Amino acid sequence: MSDTAMHDQTTATVTTRRPRLAFLGLGWIGRNRMEAVAAEDVADIVAISDPAPEALDEAAQSAPDAVRCDDLDALLATKPDGVVIATPSALHADQTIAALNAGAAVFCQKPLGRTEAEARACIDAARMADRLLAVDLSYRHAAAFMALRDAVQAGELGPVHALDLTFHNAYGPDKPWFRDRALSGGGCLIDLGAHLLDMAAWAMGARDLRCTSAHLYAGGKRLIGDAVATSVEDYAAATLETPEGGVIRIACSWNLPAGRDAVIGVDAFGTHGGFSVQNVGGSFFDFIAHRHHGTQSEQRVAPPDDWGGRAAADWARRLAGGARFDPACESLGTLAAAIDGVYARAAG
C-alpha cells in the first residue's frame, strides 16, 4: 500500500500517511459504507462502534484490526482523521459537531440534522474546524441520475420548467426509531423526500424553492396543524416553485401498496426534450435512464451499476487527498431548509 498525502489534525502541515477512519453505527448501511471504503483501499479503518455486539462482529470481518469502542468518546479517543456516522437521525448533528470539534472529518448519513438549524450548526462547525463534511446523498452517484444531470448541464433539454420526482418504499423502515418523531425528525419526507429535493437541486440546479402546496398523511389520515410536528408521516406530496416559475412535484411514502418493493423515478421536461430515470422491477438499486424526443425515446443508461457505496468511497478519496472544508456542503443547509418549508406548508 502506498502512503497518501494527509493533513495533520492540528496544523496545516501535510504528512504522508493514509487517513485513519472510525465508524459509528454498524447496521446494514453502516457496514455497507465501511465495506465500500475498505474496498477503495485509501484509508485505514482503526475503530468501530455499535451498541449491538453482533453488528461489531460482522463489521470486524471487514476491519479485523479495528479497535471496538463503546461510544463516540471512546471512538474519538483513537484520534481518527475521519468519522463515518450511521446512527439514528436525532444523534447526527451532535455527533457530527463533536467529531468535527475533535479534528475529524465527517461522512454522515442523511439527514445531517432534523432541522435547518441543526444542519447549519454542523456546517458552521466544519467551517470553523476546516474539516471535510459530506452526507450520504448516494443517488448522486448512480449512473442513471448522473446521466440526467449531464443532459441538463449540457443544455440538451433546454430550460427545464417541470420536474416530477417519486420515491415510494413499500416496506418502510425496519428500525423502531424511524417512527419516533423526536428521534427521526419526521417520516418519509425527511427520509425519502430528502433524496428527491436534493436531486432537484443537484441535477436540475433548482434553487430558492418555495413550497406552495403540501399534504402529509399518517395511516391514511391527513396531518395538519400541530400534528405535523408531533407525528410521523407515511405519505407526503408537495409542489414547489423556482424563482423562474418552474414547478417541482414530489411524492414519497412508506408502506404504500405499490405492487412492488419500490417505485423510484424522476421525469424532467424542458423546451427541447425530456429525460426520465426509473427503477427497474421494483428494485432499490437498478435504474434505467431515457432521453425523450417528442414521441421517441433513446436509452442512455441501464443496469448493472454498483453505486451504493460510491458517496462514502468518494469522501474517503477526497480525505486521503488532503481535502478540508468544502463550501459545497452549504447546500446541505439549503436542503434542510426546503424540507422544513414543506413541513411548514403542510402544517398550514
pLDDT of residue 17: 75
Instruction: Quote the CA–CA distance of 290 and 231 in Å, as a whole number.
Output: 38
Residues of the chain with pLDDT under 50: 1-5, 7-16
In CATH, which superfamily holds the domain spanning 143-306?
A: Dihydrodipicolinate Reductase; domain 2 (3.30.360.10)
Helix (H, G, I), strand (E, B) or coil at 54: helix
pLDDT of residue 6: 53
Nearest by Cα to 109 from 308, 266, 330, 344: 308
Q: Does domain 5-137+309-327 have CATH number 3.40.50.720?
A: yes
Question: Cell 413499500 identifies what position?
Answer: 170
* Sign of torsion over alpha carbons 65, 21, 309, 98: positive
pLDDT of residue 138: 97
Q: Which residues in 86-234 belong to E strands, given as ranges?
A: 105-108, 133-135, 160-169, 210-218, 221-223
Q: Which residues pair with 21 in a beta bridge?
A: 45, 82
Q: Give tens-digit pLDDT for 152-206.
A: 999 999 999 999 999 999 999 989 999 999 999 999 999 999 999 999 999 999 8
pLDDT of residue 216: 99
Q: Give tens-digit pLDDT for 98-132.
A: 999 999 999 999 999 999 999 999 999 999 999 99
For the chain, domain boundaries = 5-137+309-327, 143-306
